[in-house]
Amino acid sequence: MVLEAVNVSKTIKSSQILKRVNLRFESGKIYGIVGRNGSGKTMLFRVLSGLIKCSEGKVYFDGRELKKDFAVLPNLGILIENTEMYPEFTGYYNLKLLADIRKKIGKAEIQRTMFRVGLDPADKRIVRKYSLGMRQKLALAQAIMEKPDILLLDEPTNGLDEIAVDKIRTILMQEKERGALIVITSHNREDIVRLSDEVYRISDGYVRKEKAIKTYEIE
């Protein structure tokens, strides 16, 4: 599988957030995107996924054009800023509601995914009473539970303790070995260095490839 951005730009009002972005991502690899807050990382994810239409350029998935051949990327798992869950329901019931939309997985797969990220599917606490770390794990669970072809993960280890961070890194490597195409952003330099096959920096709307993963600096 190949995900491509060809001369992609995004302008909102008079502000050009993405400028002539060209990217090529392949399955079975992890790509790191780094840059300052407000540099356009989240907007790039929104455009690549189809949540927002680019102002110029094209996005292709396996030769098919986004917004022409399909509205959003097929078989996508996404973790983006402020992922919303129903605060009055348990974590398990939130995932069940999402799973019921496509009906690709059932109770066993939901439970297995919750255990995998470090959550107890039998926990009766509602999401409103979850800690920041638990909310992050739940958001990651919804992204991976249906074994998507593409994972776009914005700060997947945000708010997690050291043990949970190691668990999530292991999960991402397992997803890579499964053949998923994974793109992550992170302010944690170790996430990028340890996980990424290639690293790209976004600055002033432009995206360029880092030549040396081990020596780049997080802004």
Q: What is the pLDDT of residues 121-170, one digit of tens each?
A: 999 999 999 999 999 999 999 999 999 999 999 999 999 999 999 999 99
Per-residue pLDDT tens over the stretch 178-216 = 999 999 999 888 999 999 999 999 999 999 999 766 655
Whether 38 has a pLDDT exceeding 90, the answer reads no
**Which CATH superfamily hosts domain 30-39+71-215?**
P-loop containing nucleotide triphosphate hydrolases (3.40.50.300)
Residue 163 near residue 5 (C-beta atoms within 8 A): no
pTM above 0.85, yes or no: yes
Q: For residue 15, name the pLDDT band (cuts at 50, 70, 90).
A: very high
Structural domain boundaries of the chain? 30-39+71-215
Residue 123 near residue 104 (C-beta atoms within 8 A): no
Measure the CA–CA gap between 55 and 47, rounded to whole angstroms.
Answer: 10
Name the average pLDDT for the chain. 94
